[in-house]
Amino acid sequence: MRQQEIHQYIQRFFHENNCGVLDSSYDHLTVQLTIDMDKRIMNRPYYWSYVESGGVEPNPAKLTLITNPSQFSTSMAGERIHFGSPRLHQLFQVTKEQGAFVQMYEKPGLGQATQVTLTPWLGVNYKITYSSDRTKEMLYSLGMNLMNGAVIDGFQESVRKLELGPSVAANTYYLPYNIPPLRALDRLEDVMGNVVNQDDHTWVEEAKQRQVRDLRVLDYFYTGVEDVPESYAIEKKAIEEQYETTIRIEIINGGLFYLKTSLL
């Protein structure tokens, strides 16, 4: 993310969370947090338990975020935000919690006279992580047509272009699904399992070889040492953990989509 994108992200984030912008420029953004947002990100549970028990007027914080790097080393007051700063990670985390499940309906579009029929889809965004001493991540955005069971990849990119709303529009109606969403979810999980199974896993073998090499060097420096010190065990464990290989499949977010546009 470039700095402007970060600035935009933050602006949208607070806007969606009803935190008013008090002041903003090319360099910075000052927002008035809501009580809820203050509790989520300001990490001051004592203050809030005090407010709630004592009946004191709650005073949620104002936050100034500086997004232009050329202001980082000036005396401008506020938190310096860059891709990698803990505050941005935290906002990402909150976004993740707040954007995990949706149910969306495609809008009929202007001038649509006749009745519109919407087809139900389950859309799920996955992340696969391979990790050893190195990491590789892959995103998959799967969608399953809940009428006929067809599965497509790149679902998110497709629905992004559509006009969607959180409730069904007038003059449209949707088909009840043939395939229950939870069963569809299980099938998408299988699809992901197959993706992993069919992938090339030479990386596992390579990580093992690197581990063997490291352990060999470690052992070399302890050959002939009678009382092996504790540090040996610690270092050995660290090497084993460093090269341990794991595969993780996780869901970023997902939901039900009722679409008039055919995606196949």
Partner 1 sequence: MRVERSSEWKEGFIERLENRKEFDNWTLYQMCYDMERAKVIPEFHGLQSPKHLPNLTPYAHQLEAAETVIERMNGKAILADEVGLGKTIEAGLVLKEYLIRGLVKKALILAPASLTNQWIAELNQKFHIPAIAYNKKYNLDHCPIVVTSIDMAKRSPHKEMIVQQEYDLVIIDEAHKLKNPKTKNYEFVQQLKKKFCLLLTATPIQNDVFELFNLISLLKPGHLGNLETFQSVFSASKHHVEEDEFLKELIQQVMVRNIRHETGIEWTNRLVQIIPLEFTEQERAVYSMISKLPVSDSFTLLTLQREMCSSQLSAVLTLEKLHQTSVQPEVRFQIEEILLKLTELGIHTKAKKALELIQNADDKVIIFTEYRATQAYLQAVLHAKGITSVLFNGKFSKNKREWMKQLFQGNAQVLIATESGSEGINLQFCHHVINYDLPWNPMKLEQRIGRVHRLGQTEDVHIYNLAIQQTVEDKMVELLERKIGVFEKVVGELDHILTDGKRSIS
Binding to partner 1, residues 63-102 (CB under 8 A) = 69-70, 72-73, 80, 82-86, 89, 92, 95-96, 98-102
Quick one: DSSP state of residue 19? P
Compute how many residues bind partner 1; rule: CB under 8 A.
82
Cα 61 to the center of its chain, rounded Å: 26
**φ, ψ (nearest 5 deg) of residue 144:** -120, 130
Q: Which amino acid is at 21?
A: V
Residue keyed to tokens 């050329």:
70
Determine, following the binding rule CB under 8 A, whether residue 203 of this chain makes contact with partner 1: yes
Q: How far is the CB of 95 from partner 1 (least distance, A)?
A: 5
Restricting to residues 115-134, name those near partner 1 by CB under 8 A: 125, 127, 130, 133-134
Among 135, 161, 170, 264, binds partner 1 (CB under 8 A): 135
CA distance 160 to 182: 23
Q: Which is nearer to partner 1, 62 or 82 (CB)?
A: 82
- Binding-residue pattern over the window 208 to 237 for partner 1, x denoting contact by CB under 8 A: --x--xx-xxx-xxx-xx---xxxx-xx--
Q: Which is nearer to partner 1, 15 or 171 (CB)?
A: 15
Cα 219 to the center of its chain, rounded Å: 41
Q: Which stretch binds partner 1 (CB under 8 A): 32-40, 45-53, 56-64, 203-211?
A: 203-211
Angle at 199 between CA 196 and CA 205, to 5 degrees: 105
β-sheet bridge partners, residue 119: 259
